Amino acid sequence: MHEAASRSAVSRLLRRHGIAHLPVEADPATPHKPFKLYEPDYLHMDIKHLPKMPDEAEWRYSKRTIK
């Protein structure tokens, strides 16, 4: 393939040869499973002190909570 080919030229070439899209799998190897719902009984919280930047007056925090 020519290095200077534009994205649109490559797209037209692939469509012309019928290989513009990846094949769709009829039966995926790993079927989708829904998440199991649990009763809320445990709470995990992470708090991280972010570095104070020279132009900031206060410290910042990053918080993440997992139920």
Is the pTM here over 0.85, yes or no?
no
Residue 8 included in any domain: no
Q: How many helices (H) and strands (E) does the chain have?
A: 1, 2
| 5 CB-near residues (< 8 Å, 6+ apart) | 13
Q: Could you give the CA distance from residue 11 to residue 19 in angstroms, rounded to a whole number?
A: 10
With the C-alpha atoms ordered 34, 38, 40, 43, is the resulting torsion angle positive or negative?
negative
Q: What is the pLDDT of residue 21?
A: 80
Banded pLDDT at 1 (limits 50, 70, 90): low
3-state secondary structure of 9: helix
Query: For residue 52, what are the domain limits?
Result: 36-67
Task: Determine, yes or no, domain membership for 21.
Answer: no
pLDDT in tens, 21-39: 877 766 667 777 787 777 7
Looking at the domain assignment, is residue 63 inside a domain? Answer: yes
